[in-house]
Amino acid sequence: MLRKAQIRDVKEIQKLLTHFASRGDMLSRSLSELYESIRDFYVWEEEGRLLGTAALHIMWEDLAEIRSVAVAEEAGRRGVGTTVVRACVDEARSLGLKRVFCLTYKPDFFAKFGMRIVDKSELPHKVWGDCMKCVKFPDCDEIAMILDLD
């Protein structure tokens, strides 16, 4: 079941993100960051277990980032990731945003939504605030992708 995340989900979201962050696949998020941004998150839950998550983080009046996309390995290839990302894209449209972007190692996945690869320099500097926390900074090897919504 897809739903907006609730406070009770924060620790499970963090566990899921930490699993992938420990492999270098994404940034980890502190409990504090997750509590502050819980309204950004969607989760996929089955039988009381959180199996997937994604967040839509508003950056500016016309731009948001789809971030923290993670699906439990046992739930892979079942459409969980597609569902949570589609929810983020749909919300971005309903809010009147013009573009959403992501930084990813899985460009083929995000291309399914119509996202296209762009040079990171096309993204505003504000985007790079989280990058300072990354062990790979300043040698980021993630791929920037963007989707025009209008």
Q: With contact defined as beta carbons under 8 Å apart, do 39 and 4 qualify?
A: yes
Task: Give the strand pairing for 49-60 and 41-46.
Answer: antiparallel
If one counts the domains in the chain, the total is 1
Half-sphere exposure of 21 (CA within 13 A, CB side): 16
End-to-end CA distance of the chain: 29
Distance CA 45, CA 97 (A): 27
Q: Which residues pair with 64 in a beta bridge?
A: 58, 100
Write the CATH number for 128.
Answer: 3.40.630.30
Reading the chain (150 residues) residue by residue, the pLDDT tens digits are: 999 999 999 999 999 999 999 998 888 899 999 999 999 999 999 999 999 999 999 999 999 999 999 999 998 788 999 999 999 999 999 999 999 999 999 999 999 999 999 998 888 765 656 655 655 555 667 899 999 998
Among residues 80, 87, 11, which one has the least CA distance to residue 44? 80
pLDDT digits (tens, 9 = 90+) for 76-85: 788 999 999 9
Q: Which structural domain range is residue 11 located in?
A: 2-148
Query: What residue has token string 């919504």?
Result: 149
* 143 touches 104 (CB < 8 A): yes
Instruction: For residue 39, count other CB atoms closer than 10 A to its CB.
Output: 10
The residue with tokens 């907006």 is: 4
